[in-house]
Amino acid sequence: MIRVQILSELEEIAEYQEGTNPSAGRRNWVQRLELMQADVDAWLRILKVRGLLLKPDEEATIRVNFARMSWKAGRKQLAWRVLRRLLGANGEGAPGGGETFDLPPAQMIRANPEVVYAYMKFRWECNEAERQQSLRSMRNYTRFLGHEVETQAQAPENVLRLLARCNYKSSQWQRQLLSDSGTLEEGLKTVLEGYLAATSYDKSWYKAWHSWAQTNFELAAVWERNAQHPQHAHGSSSTHKSTRLNPYLVPAIQGFFRSIALSRRNSLQDSLRVLTLWFKYGGAAEVNAAVGDGFLTVPVDNWLQVIPQLIARIQVTSPQLRRLIHHVLADIGRYHPQALAYSLMVASKSQNTTRRAAAIAILDRMRAHSASLVEQVLLVGQELIRVAILWDELWHEGLEEASKLYFAEHNIPAMYAVLEPLHQLVRLPELLADVVHTVMHPDVQQTERQQHGAERKTAAHHGVAHRPQQTTRVGRWRLELLADGECVGGGTRQR
């Protein structure tokens, strides 16, 4: 197949040399290479044939891609030679061989910026001993490109993107050198400036926004440590720092939201970091406002993967934080009610009254647009609870609590309060196990009647003087059964 393509392009080259316009044919050549397998030898044969008609700098982008492919395939010598020829240097010299080839300013101006950028990247990878020099060269070229952009009324889009990548690489390389030397925290602010410049030149580049947000996140942690331990800070300004909001929080949140919006893959890591900052510092109005604005820029689907984290904090004490969490959950419930209803149903059964009230409030808001689904989920949840906890277990637990209240604490009203819901429960048996429990324990109904009789007699006397005696007749019989190990549901339970 490669031979057929070579013969076809040789025929096209012959036609072009006879005077045919080659512009349309070049577009076809580019498309053919894009459809070819990433094989170095096949690309090399095709490019040698095209060299009969085109100079290397006339298809610089294709040859840069070929150099990148050769590098990934381990053909570093070939990649190095291709890039040097594109820059107008000879093709000799081995990568990493101690060569210190720098680009003079005049050659920088003449060379294709994309080729210069690729060459500097390869040089960084080749010469580990000269990485400081590679970083300086990249910074110099970044300043040169920035000056060129400032002098133009409307800079080309590809130049702006390349300038963003130059700033990004400069910060990335500086970060790596600082990390190797153990001084990363001291140089993070300089790294942050390069990432910020990259976001300004290419506003739709995910990697730049993610790196900028991540660096702000790390600087926020450093600032927090310095605020907690002012003796490690310089001068008397450390006390003043601890009284104001962390200056890196809002930029970190804004950067993470921007990277989430631009991400084409799973952005769970960025989402969790946003939640970390929000839940920790959401009491501050600036942080809460930044999060609220960020939610408007991100699709609701993104938050489906963090529903457990959101529901876990629906009862937070901060009013503005709690209000925004409820608002986000309500939005999720509007578009994806099936993803939220069950989790809210579980939260609505919580023993924490604040949590239960918050979950019920969100379910009530969901009823406005998904009433049938909410009712079905609540019904399923109630039935699951009924199947999981039978009346025998409810009575056993209730009698244990009642016996403790009566014998240990002598709190008769509290004992009545524990037993009354159980008596109300057995009036309407629905499951077969409920019917069996009612048939096997008719004494439960008799005990309820005696309990109500005792309460009426006590109320008639306008006092509680006779209630302990009546309770001894009514309640002690069931409590003593429990104390003796009798079964509440037909079997035997030992205390």
Structure tokens at 405: 């209240």
pTM: 0.75
What is the CA angle 93-97-102, rounded to 5? 70
Query: Measured between alpha carbons, how far is 360 from 345 in angstroms, rounded to an integer?
Result: 8
Q: What's the pLDDT score for residue 347?
A: 94
**Residue 168's pLDDT is what?**
96
Give the pair of three-digit tokens for residue 200.
């300004």
pLDDT tens, the chain, 495 aa long: 777 777 777 777 777 777 666 555 667 777 777 777 788 888 888 888 878 777 877 788 888 888 888 988 888 888 888 888 888 765 555 455 444 455 555 666 677 888 889 888 888 888 777 888 889 889 988 998 898 888 887 888 988 999 999 999 999 999 999 888 777 777 888 899 999 999 999 999 999 999 999 999 999 999 998 888 765 554 444 444 456 889 999 999 999 999 999 998 888 999 999 999 999 999 899 999 999 999 999 999 999 999 999 999 999 999 999 999 999 999 999 999 999 999 999 999 888 999 999 999 999 999 999 999 999 999 998 888 878 877 778 888 888 998 999 899 888 888 888 888 887 777 666 665 666 666 666 666 666 666 666 666 666 654 544 444 333 333 444 444 444 444 434 443 443
